[in-house]
């Protein structure tokens, strides 16, 4: 396999070597480009044009009615490969859909005649950072699949909305470029690498670039491979390599060599190396949250990776209450997965989450409107949360508790006791 291909996808590391790599002839030409072209330069010199992917170059605010409608609009506007890669989930996509459906089990019981002021304060403090509202951009890799500026635009747009950008370890742009692009708070998400020196170097770079916390993702084996994307031959862009790749170390696995054989020692390693708070992302079980806290975790992110890794696991919102009960206020709890409405944020916070992260809709905003599109998505959710708070009868975020929720199903009694 030629160097560019290995650098680009890490096919060996992901065990995807047997899959057709690209579909178009132009993309194939780029995949065969000299290895030393590397990174963004490869894009400049390669035969692959943005138009081969239809990846957007737009920068415009979006007039958003709902995030569901945004999904429908982006499906028409961006290339099929980008849409299928981003939107899909693992296997039969049961968990992907369950992430949305399960919110319906958490019925809001609004409180009336409580004199709630329209000026609901949505700001929070999270691991030493002030956020104007409790919603931020989840770590996602490979933004070049939907926009030419990739993560640089997403980070800028998130910063324009004033909230936190969590930078994926599998980004198309370097963690330094991304750090510079946002004026807001930023965390770095680490894909643990079995080559300790690679992990150490990523952590040192993240700290030097000003990231204020490290997110350790514990639930992923590689890029999501939704069936519809796989059926197209998994057409990742060969002209954009993953930005944190260090060509000095050779091969592709140096940004993603996680075989899930890591344990809670990884938490201590990160803390010792950086002195920064560590968020463990991708937990669904209360006992894993407890073990992580015992090992030094500073926050827990309840997540099933947007239903992109193992199918058949519960929705994040369904897993949240048990985790919250076990964490018992020792550290903040974040959740992500299926958050599409202000009322979803109300439900997650009422069940004990301190903040939520949003994934796919942010990339839809990116595809349709670049940095400004990202800003529009986050501001849309903020506005929906503001009215959801008023309509729920919650004067401030701290008021939200399980008394606002009627939990449908077997665990309803447990929830009320």
Ligand X SMILES: Cc1cc2nc3c(=O)[nH]c(=O)nc-3n(C[C@H](O)[C@H](O)[C@H](O)COP(=O)(O)O)c2cc1C
Active site residues: 305
Q: How many residues sit close enough to ligand 173 to count as binding (CB under 6 A)?
A: 10
Angle, in degrees to the nearest 10, between helices 67-77 and 360-392: 160
- Asked whether the CA dihedral 342, 100, 357, 268 is positive or negative, the reply is positive
For ligand X, give the closer residue by CB, 288 or 399: 288
Binding mask 143-182 for ligand X (x = CB under 6 A): -------------------------x-x------------
Binding mask 307-326 for ligand 173 (x = CB under 6 A): -x------------------
Cα separations in angstroms, 386 against 62, 278, 306, 406: 19, 29, 25, 21
Q: Is 359 in the site for ligand X (CB under 6 A)?
A: yes
Token pair belonging to 255: 């940004």
Q: Is 303 in the site for ligand X (CB under 6 A)?
A: yes
Cα separations in angstroms, 324 against 126, 267, 283, 297: 16, 20, 12, 14
Q: Is 305 in the site for ligand 173 (CB under 6 A)?
A: yes
Q: How far is the CB of 379 from ligand 173 (least distance, A)?
A: 25
Count how many residues are written for the chain: 417
The correct pick among 172, 186, 237, 281 for binding ligand X (CB under 6 A) is 281
Q: How far is the CB of 389 from ligand 173 (least distance, A)?
A: 31
For ligand X, give the closer residue by CB, 186 or 308: 308
The CA distance from 36 to 19, in Å, is 24
Looking at residues 30 to 89 of the shown chain, list those that interact with ligand X (rule: CB under 6 A). 86
- Would residue 303 be called left, alpha or beta, if left means φ above 0 and alpha means ψ between -120 and 50 degrees? beta
Residue owning tokens 């839809």: 364
Residue 359 binding partner per list ligand X, ligand 173, none, with a CB distance cut-off of 5 to 8 Å that depends on partner kind: ligand X
The CA distance from 103 to 5, in Å, is 41
The correct pick among 26, 116, 142, 152 for binding ligand 173 (CB under 6 A) is 142
The correct pick among 283, 297, 350, 358 for binding ligand X (CB under 6 A) is 358
Q: Is 157 in the site for ligand 173 (CB under 6 A)?
A: no
- Asked whether the CA dihedral 73, 342, 111, 335 is positive or negative, the reply is positive
The correct pick among 189, 252, 292, 372 for binding ligand X (CB under 6 A) is 189
The CA distance from 18 to 248, in Å, is 26
The correct pick among 339, 366, 371, 397 for binding ligand X (CB under 6 A) is 339
> Under the rule (CB under 6 A), what is the footprint of ligand 173?
141-142, 170, 220, 222-224, 256, 305, 308
């Amino acid at each position: 396999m030629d160097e560019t291909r290995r650098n680009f996808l890490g096919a060996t590391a992901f065990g995807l070597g047997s899959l057709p790599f690209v579909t178009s002839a132009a993309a194939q030409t780029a995949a065969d480009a000299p290895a030393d072209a590397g990174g963004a330069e490869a894009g400049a010199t390669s035969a692959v044009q943005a138009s081969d992917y239809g990846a957007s170059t737009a920068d415009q605010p979006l007039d958003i009615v709902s995030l569901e409608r945004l999904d429908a609009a982006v499906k028409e506007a961006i290339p099929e490969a980008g849409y299928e890669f981003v939107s899909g989930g693992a296997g039969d996509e049961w968990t992907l859909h369950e992430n949305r459906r399960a919110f319906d089990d958490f019925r809001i019981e609004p409180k009336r005649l409580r004199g709630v002021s329209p000026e609901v304060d949505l700001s929070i403090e999270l691991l030493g950072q002030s956020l104007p509202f409790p919603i931020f951009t989840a770590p996602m890799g490979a933004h070049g699949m939907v926009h030419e500026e990739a993560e640089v635009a997403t980070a800028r747009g998130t910063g324009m909305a004033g909230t936190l950008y969590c930078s994926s370890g599998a980004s198309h742009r370097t963690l330094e470029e991304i750090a510079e692009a946002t004026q807001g708070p930023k965390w770095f998400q680490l894909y643990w690498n079995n080559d300790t020196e690679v992990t150490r170097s990523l952590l040192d770079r993240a700290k030097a670039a000003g990231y204020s916390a490290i997110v350790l993702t514990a639930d992923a084996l590689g890029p999501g491979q939704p069936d519809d994307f796989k059926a197209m031959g998994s057409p990742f862009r060969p002209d954009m390599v993953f930005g944190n790749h260090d060509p000095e170390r050779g091969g592709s696995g140096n940004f993603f060599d996680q075989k899930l054989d890591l344990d809670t020692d990884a938490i201590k390693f990160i803390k010792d190396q950086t002195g920064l708070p560590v968020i463990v992302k991708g937990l669904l079980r209360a006992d894993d949250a407890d073990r992580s806290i015992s090992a030094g975790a500073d926050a827990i992110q309840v997540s099933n990776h947007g239903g992109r890794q193992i199918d058949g696991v519960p929705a994040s919102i369904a897993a949240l209450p048990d985790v919250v009960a076990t964490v018992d206020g020792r550290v903040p709890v974040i959740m992500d997965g299926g958050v599409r409405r202000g009322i979803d944020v109300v439900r997650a916070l009422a069940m004990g989450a301190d903040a939520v992260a949003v994934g796919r809709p942010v990339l839809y905003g990116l595809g349709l409107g670049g940095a400004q599109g990202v800003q529009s998505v986050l501001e849309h959710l903020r506005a929906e949360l503001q009215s959801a708070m008023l309509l729920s009868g919650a004067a401030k975020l701290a008021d939200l508790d399980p008394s606002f929720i009627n939990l449908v199903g077997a665990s309803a009694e447990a929830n009320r006791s």
